[in-house]
Amino acid sequence: MPSHNQHETDVLIVGAGPAGSSAAHYLAQQGVQVTLVDKAVFPRDKICGDGLTPAAVNELALMGINTDGWMRNLGLQVVGGGHDIKFPWPEQRSLPGFGMARSRMELDEELVRHAVKSGAELIEGVTVNELITDHDGRVIGAKGQKGRGQDAETYEYRARLVVDAGGVAARLATSAGRTALEKRPMAVAARTYFTSPLGDTDWMISHLELWDGKPGESNLLPGYGWIFPLGNGRVNVGLGSVSSTKAATKLPYKQIFQAWTQNLPEEWGFTPENQDGPLRSAALPMCFNRKPQYHAGLAITGDAAGLVSPFNGEGIAPALAAGRYLAQAYASARSRQTIHGFDLAMEAYPQALKQQLGGYYTLGRIFVRLIEKPQIMRACTKYGLPRKHLMKLVHKLLSDGYERQGGDLNDRIIQTLAKVVPSA
């Protein structure tokens, strides 16, 4: 006989990736009863570039994660338009002067264990597939299942707040009608691992052009590539492309990847013998592609809310930061006596996302519309990269590495630009 389990909790978080674990950690720290449910059993893999910009490193520090011994990097090495230029991460008031790379197998395991240490209850191996609503359509819980057939166990959770942190599939958000917005950018990217002498080097390499032979003398392939050193002689190598609408570009990633990597320097060792695991791809939802981020008992966060940056495909830092904003909003909401008061207080969550990332992501939508045209991308790469002062600004812009207040001239230019455009 299938067994049935019932739980009551303050906050039910579905998905224990960076977004879910961060929210669970911050909520549990406030003494909130949090139940974090994931269909996977940790440690589990996630298709990702494993890159952590200073913004992500800073979020980890705020959470109190001990990153001693993690692979650090000094900045971005950008290759394209006949240039090969290093851009160090600047040391800033609000951000450290280094980035990191950590395999998601390890990173997500550490984040979820951290949330548990902070007091969250973790339930693994349960797929949550259905919201429970009251007669007004308000979300009051969710139903899940572990296993199938005779051995299936069903779960029913009742909670004051349900959070969809279930990644790009956004199952609960979709079932509540929060479907992906048509005109928000969507990227697709693929990655694998290699053993390589680059594994212990200091720079995250970014190839703005992919060639199937000698650069400038062979065929230009669509997409952009990266090589991120992970330490212990391993690198994460991948490529992706972005489209300004939800209809993501459909490229033959495997073929492009092969043509690109076969022609990279032989000593880097990107051969089938050195490859560790298959090339796997996934989508990156960007620029708040699902809304609202809170309504009637259901909050959405991380990839489920399309929080990935359109500038660089970074989704970990915004997912971690969103957990912080969500918990802050709930801290006020939980003391409210009425549903109306609760909902009003929870509005602080979308408001914080808008304030921190709204204008910035609107700029990102313009950026994507430009770079999806290869001729514009090529001209920017060729003429922009060697301009030192311009690139300092671009580097801050692309990595979300600008100060939100004060800072230098570049910070203030980006702040002004992000303010003059309407929020995404």
Binding site for ligand FAD (CB under 6 A): 14-20, 37-40, 46-51, 56, 127-129, 165-167, 169, 171, 189-191, 238, 282, 284, 302-304, 308, 313-317, 319
Shortest distance in whole angstroms from residue 266 CB to ligand FAD: 25
Residue 312 CB, nearest distance to ligand FAD (Å)?
8
Q: Containing H/E element for 409?
A: helix 409-420
CB of 192 to ligand FAD, least distance (A): 10
Residue 414 beta carbon to ligand FAD: minimum distance, rounded to whole angstroms? 19
Residue 271 gets which letter from DSSP?
Answer: S
Among residues 49 and 297, whose Cβ is nearest to ligand FAD?
49
Interaxial angle between packed helices 18-29 and 316-333, expressed in degrees from 0 to 180 and rounded to the nearest 10: 30
Task: Compare residues 227 and 345 and give the one whose CB is closer to ligand FAD.
Answer: 227
Angle between helices 104-117 and 18-29 in degrees, nearest 10? 20
Q: What is the nearest approach in angstroms of ligand FAD to the Cβ of residue 168?
A: 6
CB closer to ligand FAD, 114 vs 171? 171
Neighbours of 65 (CB within 10 A): 18
Closest CB to ligand FAD among 49 and 80?
Answer: 49
The residue (of 190 and 345) whose beta carbon lies closer to ligand FAD is 190
CB of 314 to ligand FAD, least distance (A): 4
* C-alpha neighbours within 13 Å on the C-beta side of residue 411: 13
Alpha helices in 298-354 (DSSP H): 316-333, 339-346, 348-353
Tokens of 292: 């609202």
CB 140 within 8 Å of CB 277: no
R_g of the chain computed on alpha carbons: 22
Q: For ligand FAD, which is the closer residue by CB, 290 or 342?
A: 290
Which residue in the shown chain puts its C-beta closest to ligand FAD? 315
Asked whether the beta carbons of 155 and 146 are under 8 A apart, the reply is yes
